[in-house]
Amino acid sequence: MTIGFIGLGIMGRPMVKNLIKAGYQLVVYDKFAGFDDLVALGACGASSNKEAASKSDVVITMLPNSPHVKEAVLGAGGIVEGISAGKIVVDMSSIAPAVSQEVGEALKAKGVAFLDAPVSGGEPKAIDGTLAIMVGGDQQTFDTVKPILEKMGSSVVLVGDIGAGNVTKLANQIVVALNIAAVSEAFVLAAKAGVEPAKVFDAIKGGLAGSTVMNAKVPMILGGNFKPGFRIELHIKDLQNALDTGHNLNVPLPLTANIMETLQSLKVDGLAASDHSAIVRYYEKLAGIEVRS
């Protein structure tokens, strides 16, 4: 089976490497990034989305946002022009659920199956192949591509029809952002009170307050390491999709709106490309203290 992979950024590149390592033949393409390193590992390079699709049985996209996915799939020289009936497209980008449904319908008209399969875990889990993958689509298509997805993730779950994967991702992103905010607020309080943040972390991480988010982000916060595993500007994008989806469904999202403004403030301060653990910087600025070990 040949897999076309479009989108070779901070997430897509390590995902491709894991698929190559698993023995799959890859055809890769990115409009903006080079891929000589992947060709050196055994992948074949393509000159367009259309060419990558024409040479593949399954096409995976991993792109920044809804407009990029629509362009890559439905635009001029896009996947839809190169793919044939009976093939499968899996979009692993985090985009608006309504756009997933639109793309799915367009591909269905050509006899092409579609899944939306966004991921959680950031660059570290993309590298080690332990992403959480939440999938929307039909059972038969899911069963066909599940072995592929399992080479990139440790959790692969079909959550509903097309669009459900991205609804689940939006829920995930709300929880993650608010968890980081709560951790940040709490550790700034501890630091201001003169209690060593590292000891607070050791004391509470095994209790009810403990979480995967805390375990991943507090060491970064304590070390002042905001090198992006998941950039603030991407979290802004995801939360905007969450707010838009909530408004369309008449679901108020007051906490999401609040953390969105926090992220926007950090963007204004020049931290858009920092890891979302830099949410702590917002609270540090308010309190006039830094949380460091």
Query: To the nearest whole number, what is the mean pLDDT of the chain?
Result: 97
Nearest of 180, 131, 179 to residue 155 by alpha carbon: 131
The superfamily in CATH containing domain 167-287 is: N-(1-d-carboxylethyl)-l-norvaline Dehydrogenase; domain 2 (1.10.1040.10)
For every residue of 88-134, DSSP letters joined together read: EEEE-S---HHHHHHHHHHHHTTT-EEEE--EESHHHHHHHT-EEEE
Which residue type, as a one-letter code, is found at position 59? V
Q: Tell me, what DSSP letter sits at residue 43?
A: P
Domain 2-161 and domain 167-287, same fold? Reply is no
User: pLDDT (tens digit, 9 = 90+) per residue, 156-214?
Assistant: 999 999 999 999 999 999 999 999 999 999 999 999 999 999 999 999 999 999 999 99
Can you tell me the distance from the alpha carbon of 62 to that of 81, in angstroms, rounded to the nearest whole number? 19
Domain ranges of the chain: 2-161, 167-287
pLDDT at position 170: 97
| Predicted confidence (pLDDT) per residue in 223-245, tens digit | 999 998 889 999 999 999 999 99
Amino acid 186: pLDDT: 98
Partnered with residue 113 across adjacent β-strands are 88
**Nearest to 178, CA basis, from 288, 289, 276:** 276
pTM of the model: 0.92
Residue 91's beta-bridge partner residues? 61, 116
Q: Which residue has the higher pLDDT, 49 or 122?
A: 49
Catalytic residue among 50, 87, 169, 237: 169
Is 192 considered catalytic here?
Answer: no
CATH architecture of 2-161: 3-Layer(aba) Sandwich (3.40)
